[in-house]
Amino acid sequence: MTKYLDQTIQSICESIRFDSSLSSPLEGMPFGKGAADCLNHFLSLAQNMGFETQNYDNYVGEVVFGDGTEEFAILAHLDVVPAGGGWTKDPFGGVVEDGKIWGRGAMDDKGPAIATLYAMKALKDEGFVPAKKIKLILGCNEECGWKCIDHYNKVAHMPDEGFSPDANFPVIYAEKGILHVKVSFPIANAPFTRFCGGERVNMVCDFCQADGSVNAERAQTLGLTVQNGTLNSVGKSAHGSTPEEGKNAILPMLEYFAENADVQRVIACLFDDCYGLKTLQDETGALTLSPDVVTYENGALTFLVDIRYPSTVPLSAVREKLDAFGVAYEEISHQAPLYNEKTGKLVSTLCDVYNECTGKKEAPIAIGGGTYARALKCGAAFGPEVEGEEVTIHQANEYVTVERVKLMLDVYKRAIERLTGK
């Protein structure tokens, strides 16, 4: 696979240079020009390799390998979250330095998508004839609602089985349920006239601002800065499913105004977990709650909150805890959990492939993140992160190492061959 490495790296860099985060729709481009251009770049690569491709109205694309009656899906995405702040590299530069490819999407999910494409090319060049029709499906709205998958299900046929290269190795057997809610807390005698922060419900807020009376000493104690009379709080972004890996900029700002009883209530509900949401847990982990976007309007602080609840916990149990807040909330979106048996054919095969390629003896794991795997009747997320290594997904200075690209090429090639061969 080493002969494909340079081409894979070059293509990843090219893809990163498209800012494919969600932007205003244009005619024929439902998620904006960047996402459409990135999709067409990918499909052009595949066409030049001799694969059949299909662009479904710039919602989603498809690369087909083989013509078997049974189908197998590989689900990846080309859209990214916004760059956010704190970068020391160009987030859309797509450069290789220090053995790493830098840029938004390097790990989530352009790097793995392109590595999978070149793994398919390697198999094709070797004369491999899959017994199943392989569909490499490329979504453009994974980060903000899955409208791409909804569209695909309307215009094409989704296979029953497959994997998504968009999580962790060795393989994911379970994914928590994902519930995004809007929660509004009335603030009587609000000590601020403006309070805002956050960009996406699935990104830990890394910057928050407020206008109110300024106490420089108190602000400094809480790590806030003051510029032109505006209070600023700087945090660290992280994926909404792992809020502990970031630093939410909203909390210090709330603490600054915590002499107000209603603000204290917000802290108790959303950060101190006074109603026990985080006590919901099972073998797939404990519930996580991340209030990632905040606005102040009409006398209320309104939050967009990312909740990841354990795979075997019913949604009704989560709703019961939210009801205890005693304030209005609205469910924005929901994705049911994914749960597979660890010993099932798909999960065990993927785990065996990873262990063979690395010499390790690891077991399937569960995650809080949500992947396209749950769009399948039998799906599993498979790479590219490895536990114990630095996580930069949804954070500043996202990167993928060249060594990880090598591993992906090897692992994905072997997995596709094992799962779709005769």
> Residue holding tokens 């006239």?
193
At 190, phi and psi to the nearest 5? Answer: -55, 130
> Please, are residues 106 and 402 in contact by the beta-carbon 8 Å criterion?
no
Which single residue is written with the structure tokens 């924005």?
Answer: 332
b/e sequence 27-60, b meaning 16+ C-beta within 10 Å:
eebbbbbbbbbbbebbbebbeebebebeebebbb
- 3-state helix, strand, coil split of the chain in percent (to 5) is 30, 30, 40
Q: Please state, in angstroms and rounded to a whole number, the distance separating the CA atoms of residues 80 and 16.
A: 9
Contact yes or no for 296/194 (Cβ under 8 A): yes
In three-state secondary structure terms, 89 is coil
Angle of CA points 388, 17, 412, to nearest 5°: 45
Check: CB of residue 95 under 8 Å from CB of residue 102. yes
Cβ-based neighbour number of residue 189 at 10 Å: 8
Q: How far is CA 26 from CA 18, 29, 35, 54, 61, in A?
A: 16, 5, 11, 20, 18
Report which of 194, 111, 125 is spatially closest to residue 406, judged by C-alpha positions: 111
For the annotated catalytic residues, the residue numbers are 79, 142
* Preceding omega of 191 cis (within 30 degrees of 0): no
Residue with tokens 């992906």: 408
| Token code pair at residue 112 | 């793995």
Structure tokens given for 82: 């916004």
Specify whether the backbone of 229 is left (phi greater than 0), alpha (psi in -120 to 50) or beta. left
Q: Which amino acid, one-letter code, is at 69?
A: T
